[in-house]
């Protein structure tokens, strides 16, 4: 895992949680809807399904809710790991830049306005900061 992937884990996990919550909401909507009769479907097997039409949506929603809870538990751990890596930097502006970018998920334009620097200076600071980051695993630095 490179440094950018390591720092992007927090934002990616938040986005994944939001998408899964939208999927669960759709599953709940489908479970609460009443399916109509489909006359276009060719019936091959004469046996009737004993499963309720909404059961599969409820089971999928439950599986995704378990995954959401697991990701929500991991989110603060990921954030702490990233902040610990960022705190290892000596230059305050680089620390602020990385926090704005990878924790607060601000755009480059917004970060440049907050730090009162040009876009080219911001990119230079960013590259310098990335070269100094030490990736911390659960076992220690790598």
User: Where are the chain's structural domains?
Assistant: 3-34+54-132
Query: H helices within 33-142, ranges in order?
Result: 55-87, 92-102, 108-115, 119-132
Series of mean pLDDT values for 10-residue runs along the chain (142 residues): 92 96 94 73 66 85 96 96 93 95 95 94 94 74 52
CB half-sphere exposure, 120, CA atoms < 13 A = 0
The pTM assigned to this predicted structure is 0.80
């Amino acid at each position: 895992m490179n440094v950018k992937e390591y720092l992007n884990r927090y934002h990616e996990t938040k986005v994944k949680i939001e998408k899964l919550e939208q999927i669960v909401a759709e599953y709940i909507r489908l479970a609460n809807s009443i399916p109509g009769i489909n006359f276009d479907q060719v019936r091959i097997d004469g046996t009737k399904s004993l499963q309720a039409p909404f059961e599969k949506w409820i089971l999928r929603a439950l599986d995704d809710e378990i995954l959401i809870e697991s990701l929500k538990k991991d989110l603060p751990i990921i954030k702490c790991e990233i902040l610990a890596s960022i705190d290892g930097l000596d230059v305050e502006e680089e620390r602020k830049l990385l926090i704005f970018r990878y924790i607060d998920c601000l755009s480059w334009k917004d970060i440049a306005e907050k730090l009162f620097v040009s876009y080219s200076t911001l990119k230079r600071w960013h590259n310098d900061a990335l070269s100094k980051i030490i990736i911390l695993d659960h076992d220690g630095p790598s």
